[in-house]
Chains A and B, each alone.
Chain A
C-alpha cells in the first residue's frame, strides 16, 4: 500500500474512534482541510502517528476538548470583509429593526470577533436593546475567550480600519476599554450576547432567527454536510429572514436553495422568501 493510502486508513480509524467514543462525527468535513488540522494536532501532542493519540482519546479526561480545539482553529477578525457589514447595516438592519425582538444566530463564532462586530452595528443603529445574539461554536476554549470579550490591543488598528470601512459612526475605542496590552469589550454589548456550544453536524436548530451569520464555516465541510447545515439554517429562519455566508461560499449544495433569493449576490447575503416558496 502506498503511503498516502496508509495515511488515509489512519485518518478513517481516528475519526471513527472520535465518533464512537465521543459522538463527534468529522467524516463529512473537507478531508484536505481536516488532514491539515490533524497534522497540527500531531505536532501539538508531539506524536509521530495519528493513531498514537487513540489511548488518550479513549480514557484521558480533557482530551476531547483539546482535540476539538485543534480541529477547529479559530481564525477571525472584527468587521472582516467590511463591505458585508456595511450592507447589513444599510439593507438588513432597517428591516430587522421593525421586529420587537431580533434574534441573530452567529454560527462558528470562534473567539467572538464577528459577534461583537454585529453587536456594535446593532448598537449604532439603535436596536441593541431589542437584540439577542446567539453565538455558537464547537470549540469551548474559543467560546470562553469570546465570552470574556478580551482581545489583544495590537489587533485594534486593523479592526478600526475595518470598522471605518464598515460604516462605523464613531470610533471602535468607544466600545471597549484598554488595559495594557488587551482591550475589554463594553458591558452593554456583552449583555446582548449568549455564547453556547453547538455542533452543526449533530445538533438541531438552536433558535428562531431573523438573521443567521454563517461565514467561512461551510468551506470546511463536504457538500453533503453543507446541504445539511443549510437545511438546518433554513429551518431556524423566520419567514423573510436573512442569511449571510462567507464571500467564497454558495448554496449550491442545498436542494431547496430556491427558497432563498440573493439580496447582495457578491456579498452572499440572502433572504428567505416569505411566501410562494418554490417546491
Chain B
C-alpha cells in the first residue's frame, strides 16, 4: 500500500508541477488542484498509513491499534481551504479572460 500511495502522490505532483508551469490559466488552476490533492494525501501519509483502525480512543486501549486522528483533522481543514482558494482563483481567471481577451497567464499572447 505504501508503494501505491507514494506512486499516486508522485504522479499527482509531477502532473501538477508540469501544468502549473504551462502558459494557460486553466492549466495553471488544474495544476494547482492536482498539487493540492497530492499534498492532502501526503498529510494523511505523514500520520502513518493504517487500514481498518479507528481514530477514536477508548479508555485503557493499546494505542498501537489505533490510527492517528490529527492528520485527518488537518487534512479536512486543508481541503476546505484549498477548495475555497481555488474557487477564488477561478473568479480571477474569468475576470482576467474578460478584461484581456486571452487566457494566457500574462494577459497577452506571446509574440510569435
A binds B: no
List residues of B whose CB falls within 8 A of some A CB: none
